[in-house]
Amino acid sequence: MPRASPVRIVKQLTAAGYNADREAVTLLAGAPDPDRAVEALLDQIESETVTITAGEVRAVLNGATHRTDDTTVSGGGETSTNRSKAAASAAEVTGVEQADQEASNRSPRDPAEPIVHGDMTGESTGTGEYEDFVSVFRDRYERLSAMLRGRVKHRPTDALESMPGGAEGALIGLVTDIRSTRNGHWLVELEDTNGTFPALVMKDREFASAVEELLLDEVIAVQGTLSDDGGILFVDDLFFPDVPRTFEPSTADRHVQAALVSDLHVGSQEFLDGAWADFADWLHSPAADAVEYLLIAGDMVEGVGVYPDQDEELDIIDIYEQYEAFSERLKAVPGDMEIVMVPGNHDAVRLAEPQPAFEPELRKIMSAHDAHIYSNPSTVTLEGVSILLYHGVSLDELVAELPMPEVSYDQPDQAMAQLLKKRHVAPKYGGKNRIAPEKQDYLVIEDIPDVVHSGHVHKLGVGAYNDVRLVNSGCFQGQTAFQRSVNISPDVGTAPILDLDTLEVTVRKFA
Ligand code: D5M
Ligand code: FE
Ligand code: ZN
């Protein structure tokens, strides 16, 4: 069935002065010729109609004469409507007269449908068997080693073993052990599909500091000289899969923006309802005219049983009610924006990454504005700009494990840069990160994105790594008891606004 963008349909109806039910828009979008259907509808509709119903659309599509009753339509329990920017509906959404006024002043948005890559929702094959772990690590090795192959003339570990002492050699492997020797050098054990081989990095080499950046299970390449007995590789150079310095990101060819947020934690006593309402109101204002997309990088709700004693801080204890409440907050956002979201560790999906997007029942609850819901991680392309959405649980691991002072909660973008360098969103298996074994490693950053958008650490971070824009969005949750106990002060009410045409970021603050 040919499908026009629902957003375009809403825009056409809005331009003619009508609102429409969600189902009416869906029907029009799915019509054989949506433009003709809209045209026919506008011809037939009575001018005093405010909201076009599905019944009216069906009448037009069936070629029947116009009728205004809508009794044949079963809403399927869906109560949300596809709101246009028309003043009446803006008032209904926000309950704020000022926004109502502003809404009627702003020009309509015309976002395009996002294109998604790496959404593994419905693709999960893992059964948790040993074989799945073997295949996910094999896939990780194969994809990451392919990125490194051009940089070294590597040999498999078993081939290195049979080479004579003193020979030049190179190896691509998964880091399985990092030890310092008695003299302060580093012994890094690397594993490929054929076996393992030890590599020695001397402490006085210029790249010795790279060892500090290593995490277990990441894939690197080393090049050097075999020891006299041929049993160790003395490393002369070390490579990460990395992003080339020459990387040039793509940009949109018109002025259009995306708001990048995360970590609302609706249902928590600390959810900053007022800050969210202010943000939503701002989106209705002319100042936000160019903001056509809203990306949410996980932790939409607070969830239940995520941390010990979490129930003491819950405002809403039922998970479905939390999503109902979240959905209400989503409805406050202008209906002509495209919304993309992925789950986080507080959301009601499996905790292990990759996290498939929600089950149908929760999707239905969150169906306001036809939001696009993908797995964590996923990459969406908006106006030609590819954005990797990853909630960010591994950032905790990086901050805890990496000794470099710049990789800290105060600069989450620096931790995000490490993910790009390692070309994997959760390099270390185990620890804080749970990884679900799948046939394929969906966590490899296969294609270099133009932008990485994360959340989770509740700290704002805007940076870049070899011209890839990095954004951590902060949160809409006030400081929790846990955060107080470990002295984390979250960046609250923050909404980084990304220019898709320049990749510049302006941070808006609503708290
Ligand atoms: O995570 C918000 C941030 O706070 C993230 O850096 C983890 C950390 N955090 C929050 N609560 C806990 C507990 N109880 N233990 C360990 N780390 C925690 P979020 O995903 O929003 O909870
Ligand atoms: Fe969070
Ligand atoms: Zn989180």
Beta carbons of 227 and 475 less than 8 angstroms apart: no
Ligand 1 centroid–CA 458 distance in Å is 9
What atom in ligand 1 is closest to the CA of residue 346? 20
Distance 487 CA to ligand 1 centre (A): 12
Give the nearest ligand 1 atom to 263 CA. 21
Q: Whose CA is nearest to atom 14 of ligand 1?
A: 307
Q: Which ligand is nearest to the CA of 480?
A: 1
Token match 């599909």: residue?
A: 193
Cα separation, 178 vs 210, whole angstroms: 12
Would you state the structure tokens that stand for residue 458, as one six-digit string? 């509740």
Closest residue to atom 11 of ligand 1, CA basis: 482
Residue 146 — φ and ψ, nearest 5°?
Answer: -60, -35
Residue 444 in contact with residue 424, Cβ under 8 Å?
yes
Cα separation, 244 vs 72, in Å, equals: 59
Q: Say how far apart CA 363 and CA 380 lie, in whole Å.
A: 19
Lookup result for tokens 């800050």: 275
Token pair for residue 469? Answer: 């824009």
Please report where in the chains the tokens 């969005």 appear, as a residue.
473
Cα 297 to ligand 3 centre (Å): 9
Q: Using an 8 Å Cβ cutoff, are 126 and 132 in contact?
A: yes
Separation of CA 73 and ligand 3 centre (Å): 40
Residue 259 DSSP class: E
Spatial separation of the C-alpha atoms in residues 85 and 108, rounded to whole Å: 7
Position 147 scores a pLDDT of: 97
Asked if 27 contacts 58 with a C-beta cutoff of 8 angstroms, the reply is: yes
User: What CATH code is assigned to 246-509?
Assistant: 3.60.21.50
Residue nearest atom 18 of ligand 1, based on CA coordinates: 482
Between CA 107 and CA 432 the distance in angstroms is 45
- CATH classification number, 149-239, choose in 3.30.70.1450, 2.40.50.140, 2.40.420.20, 1.20.140.10: 2.40.50.140
Residues enclosing ligand 1, CB less than 6 A?
Answer: 263, 299, 307, 345-346, 396, 456-458, 482-483
CA atoms of 427 and 435, how far apart (whole Å): 10
Give the ligand with the smallest distance to the CA of 473.
2
State the closest ligand 1 atom to the C-alpha of 399, by its place in the atom list counted from 1.
6
Q: From atom 6 of ligand 1, which residue's Cα is the shortest distance away? A: 457
Q: Is the peptide bond before 249 cis (omega within 30 degrees of 0)?
A: no
How far, in Å, are 11, 254, 277, 291, 400 from residue 497 at the CA level?
23, 16, 17, 8, 29
465 contacts 247 by C-beta, under 8 angstroms: no
pLDDT at residue number 15: 63
Cβ atoms 475, 492 nearer than 8 A? yes
CA of 355 to the centre of ligand 3 (A): 13
* Extents of the domains making up the chain: 4-104, 149-239, 246-509
Substitution candidate for ligand 1 out of 482, 486, 492 with most atoms within 8 A of CB: 482
Using the Cα atoms of residue 258, residue 264, residue 270 and residue 276 in order, give the sign of their dihedral.
Answer: positive
Q: What is the dihedral of CA 85, 91, 97, 103, to 10 degrees?
A: 0
Q: What is the pLDDT along the chain (511 residues), one digit of tens a residue?
A: 345 566 566 666 666 766 666 667 667 777 777 777 778 877 777 665 666 777 777 777 776 433 333 323 333 333 233 323 233 333 232 223 333 444 456 778 999 999 999 999 999 988 778 888 889 999 999 999 999 999 999 999 999 999 999 999 999 999 999 999 999 999 999 999 999 999 999 999 999 999 999 999 999 999 999 999 999 999 999 999 999 999 999 999 999 999 999 999 999 999 999 999 999 999 999 999 999 999 999 999 999 999 888 888 899 999 999 999 999 999 999 999 999 999 999 999 999 999 999 999 999 999 989 999 999 999 999 999 999 999 999 999 999 999 999 999 999 999 999 999 999 999 998 777 888 988 899 999 999 999 999 999 999 999 999 999 999 999 999 999 999 999 999 999 999 999 999 999 999 999 8
**Residue of 270, 361, 425, 346 whose CA lies nearest to 77:** 361
d(CA 87, CA 502): 32
Distance set, CA 251 to CA 16, 198, 504 (Å): 32, 43, 10
- How many Cα neighbours within 13 Å face the side chain of 424? 31
H helices present in 317-392, as ranges? 319-331, 360-365
Task: Determine the pLDDT at residue 191.
Answer: 97
DSSP-derived pairing of the beta strands 195-201 and 233-239: parallel
CA distances from 88 to 55, 98, 120, 195, 369 (A): 21, 12, 39, 68, 17
Of 458, 483, 324, nearest to 391 by C-alpha is: 458
d(CA 10, CA 19): 8
How far does the centroid of ligand 3 lie from the alpha carbon of residue 51, in Å? 39
Report pTM: 0.80
List the one residue out of 85, 148, 443 whose CA is nearest residue 289: 85
142's enclosing H/E stretch is helix 130-148
Q: Please identify, by atom number, the ligand 1 atom nearest to the C-alpha of residue 409.
A: 6
Nearest residue by C-alpha to atom 20 in ligand 1: 456
As a whole number of angstroms, the distance between CA 423 and CA 134 comes to 20
Name beta bridge partners: 506: 497
């989106």: which residue's tokens?
283
- The Cα–Cα gap between 77 and 58 comes to 19
Q: What residue's CA is closest to ligand 1, atom 5?
A: 457
Ligand 3 centroid to residue 299 C-alpha, Å: 6
SS3 53: coil
- Of 5, 3, 51, nearest in space to 41 by CA: 51
Phi then psi for residue 104, to 5 deg, are -75, -15
CA distances from 312 to 68, 307, 482 (A): 50, 11, 12
- Do 313 and 303 touch, CB atoms closer than 8 A? no
